[in-house]
Amino acid sequence: MDLVIRDARVIDGTATPSYRADVAVRDGRIAEIHPEHAPGPRPTAARTLDADGLALSPGFVDMHAHSDLALLRDPDHSAKAAQGVTLEVLGQDGLSYAPVDDRTLAEVRRSITGWNGDGSDIDFDWRTVGEYLDRLDRNFGGRGIAVNAAYLIPQGTVRMYAVGWDDRPATDAELTRMKQLVAQSMAEGAVGMSSGLTYTPGMYADDAELTELCRVVAGHGGYYCPHHRSYGAGALEAYEEMVRLTRTAGCALHLAHATMNFGVNEGKAPELLALLDRALDTGADISLDTYPYTPGCTTLVAMLPSWASEGGPESVLSRLADGPTAARIRHAMEVVGADGCHGVPIEWDRIEISGVSVPGLGEYVGRTVAESARLRGEEPWVTARRLLLDDRLGTTILQHVGHEDNVRQIMRHRVHTGGSDGILQGDKPHPRAYGTFPQYLGRYARELGILTLEECVAHLTSRPAARLRLADRGQVLEGYRADLVLFDPSTVAAGSTFDEPRTLPFGIPHVLIDGRFVIEDGKRTQVLAGRAVRSAPRG
């Protein structure tokens, strides 16, 4: 054996009771599990790691990650590796960097600067999904990437490519082109398709268009992962729409960051869970992910009404610069409730600036829009409009609109998985980017008892692996890949806070990918064991 992990408390990912065992690794896989008091000799190896007092679990799967460029620019990537994340699912919320042509690439880079930076430090030498996955494998001189990565086809990018930024139904020829792009991308290794149905231009797609694309995804064994049309006013209807649409298409459904936010949804988690249970009990294939925090995180421009974003980023800036048009935008946001803000009139005292693209605007970071406006002696809209224009739409925000009771109830559900939704950009990012998985293990399992430790690990490992159709990941099982986490159940905790969001977690001394230490004795090694994880062939 290459390695024996001796006397670990094995939490195998199935939610069954943990047990004490030696776990041996050879050639990147779990070669032997020898439970305590089992007959026969204990395994030996070139290296033995004493794990007495530590739990050994499968590596955690981040079902909602925004590391699409971070994995290419940062070989360390401790934001995820130090949490025990061994696989991230990229291409989220309908906007990412493949498939594209030159025009679409330029537009999508502008659109999600707030999520991933402008990409000026990246050589965008790919255009297709297959080429992007190949790039992950050959990054850093062929050494690979920090953690494994799977990819969802971004439906908004596909629509941008085939239709553009027009708010209208796709023509038959455009729909055919989108279906071709989705089919090609699935064949090249994507695991499914995402949407951002409060983001332009993906939100311009009607249900008929989405259903046709989902049929293509289903034909390749993938799943649909929508950020649906509302997490505020009309949230339950938006969830129901996605359930109905995917059942019509015969496509598996994975609900992204499945929250119930804003004042209109306080205490309504049981209604969402009842809706899902009815669908599951009648044969629907549904899963969901959440992050264990109440605030959300997105871009400031995403709060605008969708009509203000038609035509793309330059059109948005032109409308904001025009006084009468800007007044219409303000009315939609503050009085009516813009679709970009989930149909709820915006509360500027709940919108905290977390990052800016232009360094000279750093004074806004860490304050709500309302606070900055008071300091300037002006109305919040005036401050927000100026910031959008001066920052060229690159501003990220924390949106303090969640409810703790909803978070706790949803994370207990039988199809729940974990996803950080971690945006790594900005001076003051959401702490979920660095803390989601130890927050589940420490606060919600150990301290609050919302889940047992065994249940919690299952939510973060075998359940997402099943959704991704990964036949050899997600459990501590002989023959499975040695993507493993060793953590101290008594001390594991998120180090990141809203004040210090980039602090690494506590109590996770070792993380292995393919049997190689990426975290050893609490420190990041120089190992790049991550690779692109492509979808399994159908059948």
Q: Which residue has the tokens 């936010």?
A: 261
pLDDT-derived band at 484, boundaries 50, 70, 90 = very high
> What are the structure tokens assigned to 291, written together?
């992050």
Q: How far is CA 54 from CA 13, 29, 49, in A?
A: 15, 20, 11
Kindly report which listed range (68-72, 94-98, 267-271, 296-300) carries the lowest average pLDDT score: 296-300
Q: Please state, in angstroms and rounded to a whole number, the distance separating the CA atoms of residues 377 and 375.
A: 6
| Angle, helix 323-331 to helix 313-321, in steps of 10 degrees | 100
**DSSP label at 332?**
I
Among candidates 434, 449, 439, 419, which has minimal Cα distance to 492?
A: 439
Decide if pLDDT at 538 tops 90: no
Among candidates 251, 410, 433, 279, which has minimal Cα distance to 355?
A: 433
Inter-residue contact 224 to 116 (CB < 8 Å):
no
Q: What tens digit of pLDDT does each residue of 112-129 get?
A: 999 999 999 999 999 999
Mean pLDDT score, 423-436: 94
Q: What tens digit of pLDDT does each residue of 56-69 get?
A: 999 999 999 999 99
Q: Please state, in angstroms and rounded to a whole number, the distance separating the CA atoms of residues 111 and 330.
A: 21
Mean pLDDT of the chain: 97
Q: Please state, in angstroms and rounded to a whole number, the distance separating the CA atoms of residues 317 and 308.
A: 9
3-state helix, strand, coil in the chain (%, to 5): 40, 20, 40
Instruction: Say which residue, 537 or 101, is predicted with more confidence.
Output: 101
> What are the structure tokens assigned to 131, written together?
């080429």
Q: Please state, in angstroms and rounded to a whole number, the distance separating the CA atoms of residues 153 and 189.
A: 10
Q: What tens digit of pLDDT does each residue of 396-406 get?
A: 999 999 999 99
Decide if pLDDT at 415 tops 60: yes
Decide if pLDDT at 539 tops 60: no
Q: Which contacts qualify for 183-186: CB closer than 8 Å, 24 or more apart?
A: 183/216, 183/219, 183/220, 184/99, 184/128, 184/129, 185/98, 185/99, 185/128, 185/129, 185/130, 185/153, 186/153, 186/216, 186/217, 186/219, 186/220, 186/222, 186/535
Among candidates 283, 268, 236, 270, which has minimal Cα distance to 255?
A: 236
Decide if pLDDT at 222 tops 90: yes
Decide if pLDDT at 537 tops 80: no
Q: How far is CA 265 from CA 230, 239, 339, 404, in A?
A: 11, 13, 16, 12
pLDDT-derived band at 262, boundaries 50, 70, 90 = very high
Is 44 exposed, middle or buried, given 0-12, 13-18 or 19+ CB atoms closer than 10 A?
A: exposed
> What are the structure tokens assigned to 23, written together?
């776990």
Decide if pLDDT at 207 tops 70: yes
Exposure on the CB side of residue 467, measured as CA atoms within 13 A? 32
Is 466 exposed, middle or buried, given 0-12, 13-18 or 19+ CB atoms closer than 10 A?
A: middle
